[in-house]
Structure 1
Amino acid sequence: MADHFVQGAFAFACSTDEAALIEEAWQLAADLIADVTPAPVSKELLAAFPPVLEGDPLSGFRAIFDDTSFPDFGADLTVKNSIDDPMTCTVSIFSSTDFQPWSIAGLIHRCCNASLSRAPIGFDWSFTSTRARPDSFGGGWCAIFANRIEIETTREALAIALDGDISLNRRDIWANDPAHPVEDWKTEVANDDTRLGYLDWADARVEMLAVIEESPSAPARSA
């Protein structure tokens, strides 16, 4: 038996208002995981995470997590005011066990518009194991811009190096796959037919269609 860890630690500067929004979102996630009634959500947070499901004001916030029913960043957060500039803070995010790069990237992208308009924010992370088993080590990097998120694992980079025709399907967590549109995912979430986040739902659909096509009883495609 082996234990696996996703580890990461980074810090970045942002405005005090942006840091306050990150802290509010972080506490909201903690309250939702603990199944306690969260404090009233600010209009700034609702504006940063507009609802994606009618009647669920927090659905836009939950959407940045792979598991919308378990909104966990898997990390710790500290915020320190700058000594030189009272309007600036240093935000540190770190974990040695269950660092969630996609959710953390989504949080920063939504909360730090002004800072990202001046310069992108980036971080990397590692995936390790207590036993030396194949495919049990790796990591990745993330670059957050004002208009997009670019994210890549070392496994994806290796696949690209080995086969240049393989495309990355997780570079932008806000992307909409035309073959599996966000609207279809929203409908399934509203009907309680899935608890997956959008990207995992799209990946599951791709895998399901691949299995169907490989089935001997599957109808042949017309040329």
Structure 2
Amino acid sequence: MADHYVQGSVAFTSTAQEAALIEEAWQHAADLDNELAPGDPSAEFLAAFPPVELGNPFNGLLAIFDDPRFPQFGAELRVTGADPCMVSIYGDSDFQPDAIAALIQRCCPQTLGEAPIGFTWSYGSSRARPEDSGGGWCAIFADRIEFSETAEGLSKALQPAADPWSDHPHHPVSDWKTDVANDETRLGYLDWIAARQSSAGAAP
């Protein structure tokens, strides 16, 4: 038997109002996880986590967790400073990237409107085994959240570089040249292939 860990951290500056909203959501989640009655939600909380069902003002918050029965971030929260505030979220055993990313995106629209926020996490085990290592990264934008695994990035890096002038079996250079000549595209050959595959629903 082995114990498995997910470790990660993120630190960023936010407005005092955003930091207060993170603290409120964090406390509501802790109360719900411990089967305690949460305090009354603020108007800002309800706007950030709109209820998905009438009669339960907290199910919008519960929806950001993989399992709403266990609203756990697997991390500690620390807020310091006045305005702006420094928000730190960190955990060394059960860090939850999805829920933490959703929390930040819902609570920090003003900060994310100025610049995205990113963090990484890693997998670990009490018994060293190759399959138990790795990790990933997350980039949080105002309108989306992007995730990727370390193994995925490594796999791409190990792929041999494609020859940009070799014909793709389904998208030959001659077709691209025709589109360029007819002013139907201004993309480079490889980007043109990716665009055609994307429009057809195929993987690049």
- Give the TM-score category using the shorter length: 0.7 to 0.9
> Given the alignment, which residue of 102, 107, 111 partners 2:107?
111
Alignment gaps of 5+ in structure 1: 164-223
- Say whether the 8 Å CA contact 2:2–2:126 is kept in structure 1: yes
1:146 correspondence with 2:149: no
Measure, in 2, the Cα distance between the counterparts of 1:21 and 1:137.
34
* Pair member with larger Rg: 2
Q: TM-score, structure 1 length as denominator?
A: 0.67
Indicate the SS of the match to 1:135: helix
Q: Supply the AA of the counterpart residue of 1:38.
A: P
Measure, in 2, the Cα distance between the counterparts of 1:118 and 1:98.
30
What is the deviation of 1:133? 2.2
What is the deviation of 1:94? 0.7
1:130 matched residue in structure 2:
126
Q: Supply the AA of the counterpart residue of 2:37.
A: T
1:19 correspondence with 2:15: no
Cα RMSD between the aligned structures? 1.7
Alignment gaps of 5+ in structure 2: 160-204
Indicate the SS of the match to 1:146: coil
Cα 1:41–1:69, aligned 2, differ >3 Å: closer, same or farther?
A: same
Could you give the per-residue CA deviations for residues 71-116 of structure 1, whole angstroms, max 9, x where no partner exists? 00000000001xxxx4210000111111000000000000000000
- Say whether the 8 Å CA contact 2:41–2:57 is kept in structure 1: no
2:86 matched residue in structure 1:
90
Between the aligned residues of both structures, percent identity stands at: 58
Q: TM-score, structure 2 length as denominator?
A: 0.73
Measure, in 2, the Cα distance between the counterparts of 1:41 and 1:62.
13
Measure, in 1, the Cα distance between the counterparts of 2:143 and 2:87.
21
Map 1:40-189 onto structure 2 (within 5 A): 40-81=40-81, 86-158=82-154
May I ask how many residue pairs the two structures share in their alignment? Answer: 159
Q: Supply the AA of the counterpart residue of 2:41.
A: V
Mean CA deviation greater in 47-56 or 67-76 = 47-56
